[in-house]
Structure 1
């Protein structure tokens, strides 16, 4: 009887050890290194085959980006590091700012030993404008950092169009939030570029795109890059909240730009992805102007194709 009990105990111990060994093996998968500074938040993949650089919306930062956009886990699984920048409160970049940002990104890549291959740059709202402009600058200036692709998420790519919509919203006086935002936009653009009635040259010089004159001077170096535009033109939502028409939405200008670039570049690497009922903030609030309209898995597939 003692011998039988002894054998049972050995079996239990053996089973327990095997279970723990298997469990340990499952948890031994290395976690990505996370580095946070005043300039950025970096999720560093162990095996680096690419780099995704993200720019936030106007009032946002890296923390907000990674909270609203669940891209890090699937990126790291596919050996892409994720560099979320804190640079914000910009609808455009001056020439000096482009140079400084290019130097900043290059410094981060060098100091953190990040991949210089398969670099993709993207941003939400005003961050999409920054993504387009800095990508064009990097390519045009033959910088050390050469993006392979760029994507924007519901960005106000036409600053002249943004001004016109702000003027319209102020005349409509439909909702408090719409009026407040439009007043701020108009005052800022008046101060930066002047009233368009006195000329639109400053808008063309700084905006990614100007539909009124079909100006894409700030994007011409993107010809060989993969380009994606995301937007969710939920007209019913915008009618209810701001009484906007389709021509007032970022989606309208994004669609026009994507069509223009396809014609100008003569290739199929320009995509306009129009989503439906995907826009929700992390807190559950329904809003078509959100990071969540991007399908993370599909985006990573696009980056790894």
Structure 2
């Protein structure tokens, strides 16, 4: 079985990991008449094409759309191999869509327009989905999922869909904190991949926002799903009435053993995710959930806590089903 390479974003690091693909599911690629002028997608071969992969519902009348977003550098088609969410959603009557968007730590205007166009195409093909939209993402894709949900809640006229629920899988959610974690990883000098990833995170965000979090705090708050420095959570307040789930597996021993013996809990995404959910619950969102797993993370045959596999796919789809509006 061939080995594939994945670029993963975990807290302040970017890791190139080898893994074994799972059995492929049947998803169809649909191309869009859009040019990728801002490099939303990072493929193996040079291309300026934007597209999405669609797994139809197995029921004759689809009940909703599940939008899944890959992590940084993760190929869109591989999402159907790495998690059973698409297959479980299909069985439950959802159309599952994975767009070719894997080259963003945050959601910008180009990414927003691309996702809007994908969902417009899907609702034209499947009008029976009504307004039912569910969004989820892994790692950086989880941050994009949360911020896209916030965007749609802020402007309900963007699409004929409403955000019924959103979830993220071990995602960075506060970009200012994410920059600082990257700084720590570079300074600790534990592992070449950590150093490279930390420097890449700082460089990407500094360039995008015109400075560090201390220099441009408003820009970091604007593009973050959650701002821990803001008592209301910044953009997070937009989700105070939306069901939100976060998944994480904070296996600190794994990271200390394999990558950096000096890592602390705040170097993992779990700490900020837990704070984010606590902030939502203080605002009255009792449908905000923090789910912590143990020993479920896998990359191929190897333990790896930063992966789609920490999600119990059948249970997650049952959770989404509970929010379908007829």
TM-score by length of 1: 0.84
Matched residue, 1:4: none
1:246 paired to 2:255? no
Corresponding residue for residue 229 of structure 2: 212
Q: Which has the higher helix share?
A: 1
What displacement does 1:181 show? Answer: 0.7
Residues 198-237 of structure 1: pairs in structure 2 closer than 5 A = 198-214=215-231, 216-237=233-254
Q: Secondary structure at the match of 1:218?
A: helix
Extract unaligned runs of 5+ from structure 1: 1-31
Q: Does 1:35 align with 2:52?
A: no
1:76-225 equivalences under 5 Å are 76-95=90-109, 97-113=111-127, 115-142=129-156, 143-193=159-209, 194-214=211-231, 216-225=233-242
Greater relative contact order (Cα < 8 A, sep 6+): 2
**Inter-CA distance 148–287: structure 2 relative to 1 (3 Å threshold):** same
Kindly report the root-mean-square deviation, in angstroms, between the aligned alpha carbons of the 2 structures: 1.9
Q: CA deviation at 1:99?
A: 4.0
Alpha-carbon separation, structure 2, partners of 1:84 and 1:96: 17
Q: Provide the C-alpha distance between the structure 2 equivalents of 1:117 and 1:145, rounded to a whole number of angstroms.
A: 4
Q: What SS class does the counterpart of residue 229 from structure 2 fall into?
A: helix
State whether structure 2 residue 71 is matched by structure 1 residue 57. yes
Residue 300 of structure 1: which of 290, 297, 317 is its match?
317
For structure 2, the residue ranges without an aligned partner over 5 or more in a row are: 1-24, 32-50
Deviations 1:246-275 (A, max 9, x none): 0111000000000001112x1310000000
Residues 151-203 of structure 1 deviation map (CA, whole Å, 9 limit, x = unaligned): 00000111111111111111110111111111111111121121223241211
CA–CA distance in structure 2, aligned partners of residues 98 and 77 of structure 1: 28
Say whether the 8 Å CA contact 1:102–1:134 is kept in structure 2: no
Q: 1:223 to 1:248 in 2, by over 3 A?
A: same
Task: Give the structure with the larger strand fraction.
Answer: 2
For 1:84 and 1:192, locate their aligned partners in 2 and report how far apart those are by CA, in whole Å: 25
Secondary structure class of the residue paired with 2:136: strand
Q: 1:270 aligns with which of 288, 309, 314?
A: 288
Distance 1:88 1:71 in 2: 18
1: CA distance, partners of 2:149 / 2:73: 22
The structure-2 alpha-carbon separation of the partners of 1:33 and 1:176, relative to structure 1 and needing over 3 Å to count, comes to closer
CA contact (8 A) 1:56 1:124 kept: yes
State the distance in 2 between where 1:99 and 1:218 align. 19
Is the Cα–Cα contact under 8 Å of residues 63 and 128 in structure 2 kept in the other structure? no
Instruction: For 1:272 and 1:169, locate their aligned partners in 2 and report how far apart those are by CA, in whole Å.
Output: 25
